[in-house]
Structures are given as C-alpha cells and as structure tokens.
C-alpha cells in the first residue's frame, strides 16, 4: 500500500517584521494518526506556486481551521465589526487551490475556516457573526474554558439522508464540538448539505460533482481523532481516497 502524502494548508503570520507559515499541530497529527499519511505544509504563497504544481506530488489536501477569517470582499460583503482577523495571503492560496483540486479530482477535507473557504471558493457567502444573524445559536467556544472543554461535545448534528456522511456509516445524529463565529449564509452552487446543527445551521457539505472525496465540516474532527469514532470515520474515508490516488500516482495514472 502506497502511503499518501497530504498537503496541510498554512496561515501566514507576521512577527517582528518577518512572515511565518504556520499549520496547527492538531491538524498535522490528525493526518498521521487519523489518515495514516505523511503531512506536508502548503505555504500561503498566493500565486507564487500554481495550484496544479502540487498535484503531481500530493495525494490529498487538508484545509485547516484558523483564528483568521476569509476576507468578506471575496464574497461581496463589507467587514463586520467582529471580523478582526484576516489573512489575505492564505485567501489567495486556498481559494484557487480548492477550485483546482476539485477540478483535478484531488481528495480534500476542509475543516472550519477550510469549510468556509470551500463555500466562498465556489460562490457562496458567509455570516461573519452567526450569533448576531437572526435565528442562529451562539456557536462560539467559551474563551475562558480549557481546551478539553472548548473542544468537547457542544451540540448534535443531524446528517442528511442519502449523502456522503450516511454512506460512510455515520449515524443520523451525533455530537460534535463547536468553536466558530462564522457560518454559511448562502450555500455555494454545487455543494450538497450533509449535516445541520439543531438550529438549522449547515455543519457539513460535500461537492456534488467531485471525482474524489470532497467534504467540508464546520466542526473540528481533528481534535483527538483517535478517540472519537465519528471523527475517525471521516479521516479514514479521506485517507482511503488519498491512498487510492497515491496508488494511481505510483502507477503513473495521474
């Protein structure tokens, strides 16, 4: 079996006048322990590296969460007063990379910010502050709680019948964590709703036309993935698709 190589998207942070490309440890570990794969960080270089340049070497892409948010200019909104963190270098990298990966049939799993990037990349819009946008619950974590509580079960999600999550054997409802301020406002064309929170907010999507695994989730299945069977199911399905691509690459078929 060919061990897959999975690209993990990075944020660009500035410190003392220098830039650093940063990917969270929990995402990298989830690639190793949840997907049984090798992680490699994809820097937020914008158009310095063409998205297609990665595909000869990568077997999958993990689009990570982040403290930053997608620039609302990219989906036709003005900046909300609570949207205080941006990363334009990441936006310039991940949105084209998502579109190119779908077109090329590269497996992808998009988490939190990555989930929001997927929606924006395909033409959707976001609520910048879900808890101020009408009927929605407050999906943010308690900033004063420890990590175990922040990433602990927060609410159930209801999976949609006939979708990818059901096909993976995930139950009609299960508990997830919740650590997000933003959420889907208008669903992008070509995305299928896979799960919703009790308040109706979209919590998971799939790409209808995708030739490989292409799923986005608003929650954080990377957190202690080995100890949560539902989170592990997602990563194993992603891994299976990445292994298939790795095998094809080894044979020169892609």
Please state, in angstroms and rounded to a whole number, the distance separating the CA atoms of residues 82 and 161. 35
Q: List, by residue number, the catalytic residues.
A: 112, 220, 222
Extended beta strands in 64-222, E state:
108-111, 125-127, 155-159, 173-176, 183-186, 191-196, 202-207, 214-217
Residue 62 phi, psi (nearest 5)? -110, 115
Please state, in angstroms and rounded to a whole number, the distance separating the CA atoms of residues 165 and 78. 34
Please state, in angstroms and rounded to a whole number, the distance separating the CA atoms of residues 136 and 241. 34
Residue that has been written with the tokens 């990665």 in this structure = 54
The 3-state DSSP class for residue 5 equals: strand
Spacing of C-alpha 143 from chain mean position: 22
Residue 153 phi, psi (nearest 5)? -60, 135
Q: Which bin fits 24, alpha (ψ -120 to 50), beta or left (φ > 0)?
A: beta
Please state, in angstroms and rounded to a whole number, the distance separating the CA atoms of residues 60 and 37. 10
């Amino acid at each position: 079996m060919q061990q897959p190589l999975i690209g993990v998207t990075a944020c660009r942070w500035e410190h003392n006048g220098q830039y650093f490309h940063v990917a969270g440890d929990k995402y990298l570990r989830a690639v190793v322990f949840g997907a049984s794969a090798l992680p490699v960080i994809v820097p937020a270089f914008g158009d310095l590296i063409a998205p297609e340049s990665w595909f000869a070497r990568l077997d999958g892409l993990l689009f990570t969460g982040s403290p930053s948010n997608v620039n609302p200019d990219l989906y036709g909104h003005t900046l909300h007063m609570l949207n205080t963190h941006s990363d334009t270098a990441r936006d310039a990298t991940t949105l084209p990379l998502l579109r190119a990966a779908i077109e090329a049939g590269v497996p992808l799993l998009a988490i939190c910010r990555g989930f929001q990037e997927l929606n924006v990349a395909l033409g959707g819009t976001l609520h910048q502050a879900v808890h101020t946008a009408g009927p929605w619950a407050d999906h943010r974590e308690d900033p004063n709680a420890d990590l175990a509580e922040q990433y602990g079960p927060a609410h159930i999600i209801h999976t949609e019948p006939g979708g990818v999550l059901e096909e993976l054997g995930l139950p009609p409802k299960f508990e997830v964590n919740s650590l997000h301020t933003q959420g889907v406002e208008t669903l992008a064309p070509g995305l299928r709703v896979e799960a919703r929170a009790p308040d109706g907010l979209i919590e998971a999507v799939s790409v209808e036309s995708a030739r490989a695994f292409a799923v986005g989730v608003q929650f954080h299945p990377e957190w202690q993935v080995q100890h949560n069977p539902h989170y592990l199911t997602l990563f194993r399905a992603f891994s299976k698709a990445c292994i298939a691509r790795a095998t094809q690459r080894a044979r020169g078929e892609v």
